[in-house]
Amino acid sequence: MNRAEKEELVASIRSDLETAKSVVLGSHTGIDVNTVNELRAEFRANNVTYRVVKNTLAKLALKDTDYEVISEMFTGPTAIAFSTEDAVSPAKVIKEFAKEHKKFEVRGGFLDGKVLDAAGVDALAEMPTKDEMRAKVLSLFQAVPTKFVRTLNAAPTEFLQILTARKQDLEESA
């Protein structure tokens, strides 16, 4: 790789990280290629970018940015997972993958100016994703009108049940 390609790669990493909601670092050393490809497919399905980077180039990309604090995590083979849409998705995918593949190493991450260790990445993975939060908010918006309509409908329904019961009493006594 010549100098121009390296500079382009450094600029690409830097621009990707500037738009990232969160970053999770890991290493898939010792895991076969087909399994790593399954991991990459899972990341793509969740709109997460996953790339293996050369440590020196990554450190150059992180220099003079908010992400510079995680540069010490770049030792040995390192992969970066990040999403520009959702801060939780990279952590969720990595946590699920690490459960099934003990050789996968979660090194840490970065979220909102804070460095995360492996436990912090696990805690991030427990949070609901953007889509899950939207679903919860939508269900709350739907619950109030639904309950209101049920309440309005309850009085006439109960009155009708009372009339029906009274009619049955009159028919039985006659």
Residue 7: predicted pLDDT: 87
Give the chain's domain count. 2
44 plus 87 within the same structural domain: yes
Residue 153: predicted pLDDT: 84
CB contact at 8 A, 23 and 110: yes
147 plus 162 within the same structural domain: yes
CB contact at 8 A, 12 and 49: no
At residue 70, does pLDDT exceed 80?
Answer: yes
Could you give the percent of the chain with pLDDT greater than 90?
3
Supply angle C-alpha 12, 33, 22, rounded to 5.
40
60 plus 104 within the same structural domain: yes
CATH number (domain holding residue 69): 3.30.70.1730
14 plus 53 within the same structural domain: yes
How many CB atoms are located within 10 Å of the residue 69 CB?
Answer: 13
Least confident of 31-45, 91-105, 123-137: 123-137
The CA distance from 32 to 117, in Å, is 25
71 plus 47 within the same structural domain: yes
Domain containing 167 equals: 128-174
* Cα–Cα nearest to 89, from 19, 22, 149, 3: 22
Residue 163: predicted pLDDT: 87
Average pLDDT over every residue of 60-68: 85
103-118: buried (b, 16+ CB within 10 Å) or exposed (e) per residue?
A: ebbbbbbbbeeeebeb
Q: Share the mean pLDDT of the chain.
A: 86
132 plus 122 within the same structural domain: no
Name the 3-class secondary structure at 51.
strand
At residue 174, does pLDDT exceed 80?
Answer: no
Per-residue pLDDT tens digits for 82-116: 988 888 889 989 988 888 888 888 888 888 888 88
Residue 129: predicted pLDDT: 78
18 plus 51 within the same structural domain: yes
Residue 131: predicted pLDDT: 80
Supply angle C-alpha 101, 25, 113, rounded to 5.
140
